[in-house]
């Protein structure tokens, strides 16, 4: 919202400075051993999403963690 209010040529430097501050103060995520540089977007129906969220809640994992875990388990299963 602030960017919309000050979106004029007169305040362009302020907008850039504000963006730099936001980037500089962004908190780091959890430390990890494996860099996750690829993002996967998946389409699913509402029922499947509810199942995913229920599994995440039971396993105490994020959606991404559960998907990675499931891929590892499936990969291990087919490689035996």
Report the alpha-carbon distance of residue 71 to residue 79 in Å, rounded.
12
User: Is pLDDT at 33 greater than 50 in this prediction?
Assistant: yes
Report the alpha-carbon distance of residue 70 to residue 77 in Å, rounded.
11
DSSP string, 3-68: HHHT-SGGGHHHHHHHHHHHHHTPPP----SS-----------HHHHHHHHHHHHHHT--HHHHHH
Q: In this predicted structure, what is the pLDDT of residue 34? A: 79
Whether the model clears a pTM of 0.85, i.e. scores above it, the answer is no
What share of the chain in percent tops pLDDT 70? 62
User: Is pLDDT at 1 greater than 50 in this prediction?
Assistant: no
């Amino acid at each position: 919202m602030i960017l919309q209010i000050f979106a004029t040529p007169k305040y362009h430097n302020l907008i850039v400075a504000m963006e730099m501050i936001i980037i500089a103060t962004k908190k780091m995520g959890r430390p990890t051993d494996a860099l996750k540089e690829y993002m996967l977007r998946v389409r699913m129906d509402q029922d499947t999403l509810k199942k995913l969220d229920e599994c995440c809640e039971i396993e105490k994992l994020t959606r991404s963690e559960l998907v990675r875990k499931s891929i590892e388990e499936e990969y291990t299963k087919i490689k035996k």
